[in-house]
Structure 1
Amino acid sequence: MKTYLLFPDRALPTEPRPPLNAQVLTEDLELDPVIEAMAADDKFLAETARRVVLESLTSVDDIRYRQAVLQDCLRNEEIVRELYDIAVDAITRQRKVYGWLSDRNPSAILGHAVQVLEIFVSLLRTLRAIAAEHGDEFASDGFRRFFTMTLQELDDAYFEEIDRHLRRLRFRGSILIGAHLDHGGKPSAIVLRRPEHGKRTLGEKWESFTHPTPSFRIAERDEAGANALTVMRGKGLNLVADALARSTDHILSFFVMMRRELGFYLGCVNLAHALEDRGLHTGFPLPVPAERHEFSCDELYDVSLALVSSGSPIIGNTVDAGGHRLVVITGANRGGKSTFLRSMGLAQLMMQAGMFVPAKSLSATVVNGVYTHFKREEDVELASGKFDEELARMHEVVMQIQPGALMLFNESFAATNEREGSEIARQIVHALLESGIRVAYVTHLYDLAHGFVGDTEAYFLRAERERTFRLIEGDPLPTSFGGDLYRDIFPAKPGTPGAHESVT
């Protein structure tokens, strides 16, 4: 049995496959508050959420498939939590059975498998009852297939067959083993036989009385004989024990996958509640195929900032960059430029995980990876200068990034003088664009930003001078707004010469 709730045609791989830049991406985009909100203090949910969010989907169809499943989870939260609890209960209870066993001979393996299978059968019955009662309340292809599979494979005949096997495998009385005798009387080809439980006729009873089957008993103190019989019993049970153990492992793998896949969706539900409690909006994005370039959003906000802010108003931005592959963001310091850049990156990751996004609406091209190059603090160990460190990190990005990716720069290459930093950055951006990589660049380097004015690939946003934390469409201005700070600190007195002159 397969769950197929995260992918339409395959299961989630057993081993995580995070991108090479997972740690850098987590730090630069400040992903941890999102993961913590999804986990709700559950370590397993945190691990699952981090893995699925970072292992981005690259197919529009897969993203839409997962969005539909998530929408079902948001509408039917109580039922989904019941399903998740079934999976958790199965995994937890079988571990307790396993913990009491130290002897791994065939009899012990068989006894363990029987106990575990009894637990699993009980929980599978509950799963089937939920599917029968609530299956019609789900609309997504993922859940409809999951419930249809449950009803078809876990039908009455299945449970009758399982119950019949369990009754036989408990071996309340004796067991029947067949064998051949080799030279010297040694048994070989030992197999477990099905006992005959049919009602015997009077003649058969008389026959067994007058012509008893050859048999013998092992004396109570014959330890060697008892050990030999135990070995023979083990050989007879070996094939059955192995088959039943593999069957329980198969069912366990189903519950493990069910827990992980539903765990991701419950993490999304937890995040939705956290944002709803703060009065914040969310929406399901429109993924755009990679061959089309598009980015537009309505009231997009930084979800990580929203989760850690205590009462501060959260400002969203509405942007329509159309088919431009380069977004250049300039303007006033502390005007919301870096916040918007993070919101772009987080929204891209959430969209490609099949999640809702922190916006009323969003439409974006699907990329094959998100990469960041954000400013860092000075190297405290003095192993290298800040500019050298920036170039070293850029080299790491270049070795990983592929055509079709999204590259986010935040005040990069500003550790040297403006002319040198602008020229280096400009050449890097041109090389990325020529390689088919989308770029968003936050910078206060006017020479760099102005160099892209007139470029048909470029779209310009500017943080407002009044620090409304909203970005507006507009070309870069030849000022760092230092005059604003100067006038705030040293206000000119009325009538003073130069009181109305701007300082730039």
Structure 2
Amino acid sequence: MRVFLLYEDQDYNFKSHGKYDEEHNENLIKDLGLDVIFEAMAKKDAFIYDIVKKVLLSYENDLSTILYRQDILKDCINNKPIVERIYNLAIDAIETKKKSWLGIFSTNVFSLLSSSVSLLRMFLKFLRELRSISDEYYEKFDSIGFKKFFSAIKEELTEEFFSTAERQLKDLMFENGVFIRARLGQGLEGSDYKLLKPNKKVLIKKRLSKLTFLKPQSYTFSLHPRDDAGIETLANIRGRSINQVAKILANAGDHILEFFAQLRAELAFYMGAMNLYEELSNLNVPVCFPEPYHLDRRVRKFIGLYDVSLALITGKNVVGNELNTIGKDLFIITGANRGGKTTFLRSIGQAQILMQSGIFVPAIYFSANINKKIFTHFYRKEDPQLESGKLDEELKRFDRIVSKIRPNSLLLLNESFSSTNEKEGSEIAKQIVEALIENNIEVFYVTHLYEFAKYFYDQNLDNVHFLRAERKEDGRRTFKILEGKPLPTGYAKDLYEGIFGNQETFVEKYDLSSRV
């Protein structure tokens, strides 16, 4: 049996996924605030945390896989108690094996066989419960993934399977002794030892042999209780006979254990998604299942998109934004300092990763094209060890991005190349961004480089869209990002006056006149 709850035709490989580039993943986590999302999904469960981190950081770019997971998650949300029951069942099966099975410590073949039989008998109880859940709740699920999962259980775990398995496991307890077939080999040594099924006629004769007057003729021998060599020889014969069966049973146990482990891991992702859904529902903030488009499209349409990490940290509703564009490769975002530009940029990246992982996004409505990969290049603080200059550090970090980025990827730039003067920073940004969009890279760029923004605005290109952080006439920030041409100021004076007041207040507050 296979799980197939993250992919339609294969199990999710948790050992290889999510291990692409450690630096790249750490940048995504730091710049987009993903650690807050992981924690909300995990609810202090280390296993779920590890799973959701792997799945989200290995977001998909296959449209059918994304939609496949969306439907499964909808089923999970609608049938949460049932999904939790299956998840806990998988955990119980795994824990039972850990607590009860000692075959791994045994070098004796018969002990290995006995431990494997005991383990499989315990696993049969969990498989029976899984079959019972499938029979009872099959009709409550609508997704292809769960329908296929339950159908496979019904197909494989039939009553005939259970009765046959239980009978065979009972026989392998050897309550009536071990039946062996062998041949004489060279030097009259035994060879081709094989374990036989119990023969009903032989068993009847064995029972009758206890009645002296009905005792059938047979050839037997017995060992003296102190004949250690003879006992060891018989034990070796028995071990050689059951060796193959012991290995098969051990493999069967491993196979069932792998099934439960895979089931637990894949459901852990959906458990995390349900935890996040519940957390956001309690905050009364909107979520929706997005409408993804193919890689080669350029679609960005959303209503009420917000920074989910900020909502989780503050514990309240945050300002959402709207956008409705088709065919745009470059988004240049300018405007007032502390106007919500970075928060907006984070919301774009978060939504993209959540969408491509196959779950809901923080918005009233959201549709966008899929991206091959997602990169961030955010402003970093000065290197405290002074190993390199600020611009040098930015360019080196960007060089590593360029070596990995591919067509149809998404790049989120936040105040990149602002560590030098306006003219040089604008020239660097202009050349880099032109090269990126020529190579079919989708770019969101938050910047105060007015010369750079004006250069693209003056060209009036169809594939470039301009956004600006809204500022009211009284200097108040609404944290709304609206369509608007770039302005030559970030209104830093608003911040100055907010902190220090006007010039007279500043002089009076800090008593600068007495220091002149």
TM-score where L is the length of structure 2: 0.92
The residue that corresponds to 1:74 in the other structure is 77
Q: 1:17 matched to which residue of 2?
A: 17
Is it true that 1:393 corresponds to 2:397 in the alignment?
A: yes
C-alpha contact 2:103 2:115 (8 A) present in aligned 1: no
Q: Which amino acid in 2 is paired with 1:401?
A: I
Q: Which region of structure 1 is more displaced relative to structure 2, 355-364 or 102-111?
A: 102-111
Whether 2:502 is the aligned partner of 1:491: answer yes
- The 5-angstrom pairing of residues 29-40 of structure 1 reads 29-40=32-43
1:300 and 1:359 in contact (8 A); partners too: yes
User: Structure 2 matches for 1:321-400, cutoff 5 A?
Assistant: 321-400=325-404
Partner of 2:510: none
Give the SS at the match of 1:178: strand
Letter in 2 for 1:279: N
The one-character-per-residue Cα deviations of 1:8-32 (angstroms, maximum 9, x if unpaired) are: 1111014232232112111111100
Contact 2:14 2:54 in 1 (8 A): no
Per-residue deviation at 1:134?
Answer: 0.6
Q: Is residue 260 from structure 1 mapped to residue 260 from structure 2 by the alignment? A: no
Q: CA deviation at 1:61?
A: 1.2
2:119 corresponds to which of 97, 104, 116: 116
User: Could you tell me which residue of structure 1 aligns to residue 490 of structure 2?
Assistant: 480
Query: Contact 1:289/1:365 (CA < 8 Å) preserved in 2?
Result: yes
Report the structure, 1 or 2, having the larger helix content. 2
The corresponding residue for 2:62 is 59
The CA deviation string for residues 401-432 of structure 1, in whole angstroms up to 9 with x for no partner, is 11110000000001111111111111111111
Q: Distance in 2 between matches of 1:108 and 1:13?
A: 33
Q: Partner of 1:4 in structure 2?
A: 4
Q: Is the 8 A contact 2:109 2:243 kept in 1?
A: yes
Whether the aligned pair in 1 keeps the contact of 2:283 and 2:315 (CA below 8 Å) is no
Equivalent position to 1:44, from 38, 44, 47: 47
Measure the CA separation in 1 of the matches of 2:400 and 2:426: 20
Aligned mates of 1:175, 1:100 — CA distance in 2: 20
The reply on whether 1:412 has 2:423 as its aligned counterpart is no
Is residue 468–residue 481 contact of structure 2 (8 Å, CA) maintained in 1? yes
Which residues of structure 2 form unaligned runs of 5+?
505-516
The whole-number CA distance in structure 2 between the counterparts of 1:101 and 1:208 is 47
- TM-score, length-scaled by structure 1: 0.94
Aligned to 1:304: 309
RMSD: 1.9
The one-letter code of the counterpart of 1:309 is T
Q: 2:171 aligns with which of 168, 174, 178?
A: 168
| 1:321 partner SS | strand
- C-alpha deviation, 1:222, in angstroms: 1.4
- The equivalent residue for 1:128 is 131
1:305 positional shift: 1.1
Q: Distance in 2 between matches of 1:52 and 1:486?
A: 44
Could you tell me how far apart the structure 2 residues matched to 1:225 and 1:149 are? 50
SS of corresponding position for 1:470: strand
Q: Give the secondary structure class of the aligned counterpart of 1:400.
A: coil
In 2, Cα distance between equivalents of 1:11 and 1:60: 18
Is the CA contact (8 Å cut-off) linking 2:374 and 2:411 kept in structure 1?
Answer: yes
* C-alpha contact 1:16 1:51 (8 A) present in aligned 2: no
Question: Alpha-carbon deviation of 1:456?
Answer: 1.7
Residue range with higher mean Cα deviation, 100-109 or 81-90: 100-109
CA distance in 2, matches of 1:147, 1:224: 54
Instruction: Specify the SS of the correspondent of 1:292.
Output: coil
Q: 1:500 is matched with which residue?
A: none
Q: Render the CA deviation track for 1:111-135: whole Å, top value 9, x for unaligned.
A: 1211111111101111111111111
